[in-house]
Chains A and B, each alone.
Chain A
Amino acid sequence: MTGRVRGRTGADDVDLRRPSARVVRRVVRDPQAWVGGVVLLLVVVWALVGPWLRPWDTTYADVTAFGVPPSPEHWFGTNDIGQDLYQQVLVGLRKSLMIGLVAGPLATLVAAVVGAVAGLVGGWVDRLLLAGVDLMLVIPSLFLLILLSPVLTRGGWPTLAVGIALLSWMVVARVVRAQTRTLRERGFVRAARFSGASTWRVVRRHVWPNLASLLVIDATVAVGAAVLAEATLSYFGLGVQVPDVSLGTLLASGSPSVATRPWLFVFPAAVLVVTVTAVSLLGSALRDGLDPGGPDA
């Protein structure tokens, strides 16, 4: 190659731009990203400002309306003890979102650390970490959560988020490890090692940036998964405990009366589906945008 590549026009010009700029451009042009992003934004904004749109308080029980269907008074209806379901759903949504936003990225972080260190160091460290990953994979996480439930519920929702995160990082850790092992043979990683860089430095400066696409996608996908995991656990009575409310506990308490008072189940379920779908669409758009072989928008 002669001369400067920069500014040169060529058939491969598109790929010569900064990867991040290309990714942003492609994600922005993806309708999935728009739909997912806008819906998620609306959900979050609604979760924050929604309570002020209605006069009812979360804890207030309307003694004049026990279990009434949706009406102009109570948009989502009320439950058996006269609580306004609209407010209940909002509280539950906030809790679910917080758990998801903490647990998802946390799971990815654990996966990124364990996978990168195992792949980069190799040897017995690799074998030990892999054995740990496999052990965690073998034990059904739901079973473990049931066992740990007394501990998890005592600490409130943050412990629950941590618990969910600690049980959902293993598969991604294996992927990160595999990718790191190929990176380990790349010239720049070897160059860094020969200039004396520590393992941790190589992980932070070389491995993570080069796996950014994978990690960002996984963090997004994990948010949706964590919200669902929380709902599942709470549905079985193992997650968020009364008097706390999450989408999962609402679904649990609403499900017995789905035939007689469907609104108690339908509204929390709809909000859950909309939220998780929006997050998934955003994750899918990110994955398409970051995949160099993907469609170039």
Chain B
Amino acid sequence: MPDPLLDVRDLHVRFGAHRSGEVHAVRGVDLRMAPGEVLGLVGGSGAGKSALVSAVLGLLPHGGTMTGSVRFEGTELVGLGDRAFSALRGPGLAVVFQDSLSVLDPVQRVGAQVVEVLRLHDRALSRAAARSRTDELFALVGLPSGVVQAFAHEVSGGMRQRVGIALAIACSPRLLIADEPTSALDVTVQAQVLDVLDRARQASGAGLLLVTHDLGVVAGWTDRVAVMHAGRVVEQAGVTELFEAPREPRTVTLLRAAPDPRTPRHGRRPDPGEPVLEVTDLRVTHRLDAGPRRRRGQVVAVDGVSLTVRRGEVLALVGESGAGKTSVVEQVFALSPPREGGVRVLGHDLTSADRATRRRLRGQAQLVVQDTTDALDPRMSVGSAVAEPLAVARVPRRERRARVVGALEAVGLGPGLVGAYPHELSGGERRRVAIARALVVRPTLLALDEPVAGLDVSVAAGLLGLLADLRDDLGLTCLVVTHDLAAVRRLADRVAVMVGGRVVEEASTDALFDSPAHPYTRALLAAVPVPDPRAPRPVALVTGERLWTAARAEGCCLADRCPLLAERDDERERRCREVEPGLVSRADRTVACHWWDLGPSR
């Protein structure tokens, strides 16, 4: 082995000499990285990954101390002064954070910030030279040249990560540290950003320390893997070796919990009954206001969506962010009359339903809103949070307690939690409480918006198991909104794929996964990381991201981004751009694509 790039020996990181005692976040880690190597660092939340990374970067928060040895190219970093460390960051070490929004200055153009970094580390560099170097960097990470002049809030999440990468590689670092660089991104964007990261790494010859909780990402993009648990590195191995012959029980647990979209469903599902939810040609627009009276225009979030969910069936609504999935469920489950299109819930047309009918439907159709860690009121105990829908439904007070305890039991939580407050719960428990809140009124139709997003793999696996049990035991009819395709495979009977406010493909889960018909569906599936290093690396067939479009687009909503773009002749190209493809049904599949319409593609 050549001289190590990074050599960590017996590193301990402790936080806080608090009254409440100190936290020993990293407990004796040994880690070596060769120059140019890609090392994946995986582990659940609280495993100490972030503390380790902060220590290596010399960015421990106030109250954090490290002991042991961290050598970077032979230089000891433990006890290194602030000034010396600063000189090392940039040309030596650089970092890409989970969301570069917090790294970028909101009042400076992003290009100017890269120029600033370049000139900070090389005083001899002229402004003009720094600018042209910035243009080169932006081209390298695949950003259109106009982005140089943009502000951070004007660009999408994927573009921000690209700016973050450009910023990190600006000074050609020898070690690039990426801390969950794609956790907040859609899979298609994730594949693009990781490819950019890989390209940037190769261009600068840097080593890459990729911190992630996603084993699919590890399998696709790293050479070697270190598994962390409870502050220690429990196993270090080559990526193929680790996936095929894990030695440590912790690694085995982690691998087993990793969601794999290739696994088909087990067991037969009952045949669906009558339609419970019928959405026809629904359109949802959001107004963009620039002030109390000034209207800037409107965004078409949902552009003519039709869906049917039958009794006992689970329909998954998938697609990238901004595709309009959440807008569909929120419009439906507000139970208010839609402005355009029709919604029938349990046979009642919402357009003509009176107040009493709506109240009755409220007890039948419940939505678990997207959890952004605050789906529960921080000032309300678990008991009162779960009881709230009962109070709304005017269930007598004396019955409530039993119902609340029952609902908590249904989601696998003990009655002891009734008096607890949300901050005392773990992420998975909070999610379960939110589900209990919906179940407590014994609904027929349940919608879940991103039920497992942002959870640790093992916690997410537990929650998916719970949802599958609930589906089977209670015979729930479910509408699940998610961009997690592994979750879809496990839960759903049918899948509807949304792009740009429209449904482009709808089919049974197995049919959709085994033979995707629409080019977007194929691209989506190709971009999903698979926890298997031998599987082909995820690719982004669809590039770019959907941004909010103010006006209704002519033609196919995917016209500019379609993976088939290169293969289209002029005539077909014109058709894709000008004529909106209608939904065509064949067998048990519905697809909106001119190509599928013209005959099966090869």
Q: Chain A residues in contact with chain B, CB under 8 A?
A: 1-6, 9-11, 13-16, 18-19, 127, 130, 186-188, 190-198, 201, 205-206, 209-210, 212
Contacts and interface: CB of A to CB of B under 8 A. Distances in A.
A212 B379 CA distance: 10
Contact of B372 (A14, A187, A195, A210): A187
Contact of A196 (B362, B426, B434): B362
Contacts of A205: 377, 380, 384, 388
20 contacts: A1-B46, A1-B428, A2-B46, A2-B458, A2-B459, A4-B426, A10-B15, A18-B421, A19-B379, A187-B373, A187-B376, A188-B374, A188-B377, A190-B369, A191-B368, A191-B376, A191-B434, A195-B392, A206-B380, A209-B377
B46 to A, nearest CB: 6
Interface string B173-197: 0000000000000000000000000
Nearest to B358: A196
Contacts of A201: 391-392
Interface string B32-72: 00000000000011100000000000000001000000000
A16 B376 contact: no
B424 A188 contact: no
B73 to A, nearest CB: 31
A-B complex: 5 closest residue pairs judged by Cβ atoms: A187-B375, A1-B426, A209-B379, A195-B389, A196-B362
B18 A14 contact: yes
B23 interface: yes
A265 to B, nearest CB: 47
Contacts of A14: 18, 20
A188 B376 contact: yes
A187 B20 contact: no
Interface string B360-384: 0010001111111111111110001
Contacts of B374: 186-188
Given A127-B292, A130-B292, A1 B427 contact: yes
A6 B424 contact: yes
Interface string B446-465: 00000000001011000000
Interface of B: 15-16, 18, 20-21, 23, 44-46, 63, 292, 330, 333-335, 359, 362, 366-380, 384-385, 388-389, 391-393, 420-421, 423-428, 434, 437-438, 441, 456, 458-459
Contacts of A127: 292
User: Which secondary structure characterizes the binding site on chain A?
Assistant: helix
Nearest to B429: A4
A3 B429 CA distance: 9
Nearest to B428: A1
A11 B380 contact: no
Contact of A191 (B18, B45, B384, B437): B437
Contacts of B434: 191
A13 B388 contact: no
A187 B373 CA distance: 8
B23 A1 contact: no
A206 B377 contact: yes
A194 B368 CA distance: 8
A10 B437 contact: no
Contacts of A194: 330, 333-334, 366-367, 369
A238 B562 CA distance: 76
A203 to B, nearest CB: 13
A6 B18 CA distance: 17
A13 B16 CA distance: 10
Contacts of B428: 1
A130 B368 CA distance: 33
Given A5-B425, A19-B378, A13 B18 contact: yes
